[in-house]
Amino acid sequence: MTISMYKASVPVFIHVLGNLSAILDKGAAYAEARKIDPAVLINDRLYPDMFALVRQVQIASDAVKGCAARLAGQDPPSYADTETTVAELKERLAKTIAFLKTFKPEQIDGSEEKTIQLKVAGHPMTFKGLPYLQHYVLPNLYFHTTTAYNILRHNGVEVGKRDYLGKF
């Protein structure tokens, strides 16, 4: 049985980003109820050498929009990374989800062996499509989404595993 690169990517990306958006909603509601400046939450980090929540969301968004575009043979759209509010982060996620919804299975299926080249932190990297998806993009998506979740949880936002997993 062959894997559908589309089914293993785009619907998963949309689901995870939707859950991340809902988690951000809980963070905003928490900040409002406790009269905390939401900027405190989105600029917080788990450890000094880690990225802040805002950057975690940006990277999750970048990973998936880049993956779908590259697997389909397109150039990924570029976002400015200027978000400073929860509303702007949610807008970025919504824009990314809308972009992902433009892809059809026939654009991505069959890309398992497609050569993917990109620069990561200034270093060129080359992948085949399936390992790029399975061993680079999905782990990055889950890592940065989990880290964003953990930053909010660490600050007292009442989120749990069901929020992270979302509805099936």
Residue 3 has what pLDDT? 81
pTM of the model: 0.96
Residue 19 has what pLDDT? 98
Residue 21 has what pLDDT? 98
Residue 2 has what pLDDT? 79
Q: How far is residue 68's CA from residue 72's CA, in Å, rounded to a whole number? A: 6
Chain-centre distance for alpha carbon 104? 20
Q: DSSP class of residue 85?
A: S
List beta partners, residue 56. Answer: none
Instruction: Report whether pLDDT(1) > 80.
Output: no
Fold of 10-165: Four Helix Bundle (Hemerythrin (Met), subunit A) (1.20.120)
- The encoded tokens of residue 27 equal 């963070």
Residue scoring higher pLDDT (3 or 61): 61
Residue scoring higher pLDDT (45 or 168): 45
Q: How many helices (H) and strands (E) does the chain have?
A: 8, 2
Give per-residue pLDDT as tens, 95-111: 999 999 999 999 999 99
Residue 85 has what pLDDT? 96
> pLDDT band at 81, cuts 50/70/90?
very high
Residue 9 has what pLDDT? 98
Q: How far is residue 78's CA from residue 119's CA, in Å, rounded to a whole number? A: 14
- The encoded tokens of residue 151 equal 């930053």
Q: How far is residue 91's CA from residue 158's CA, in Å, rounded to a whole number? A: 22
Give per-residue pLDDT as tens, 106-130: 999 999 999 999 998 899 999 999 9
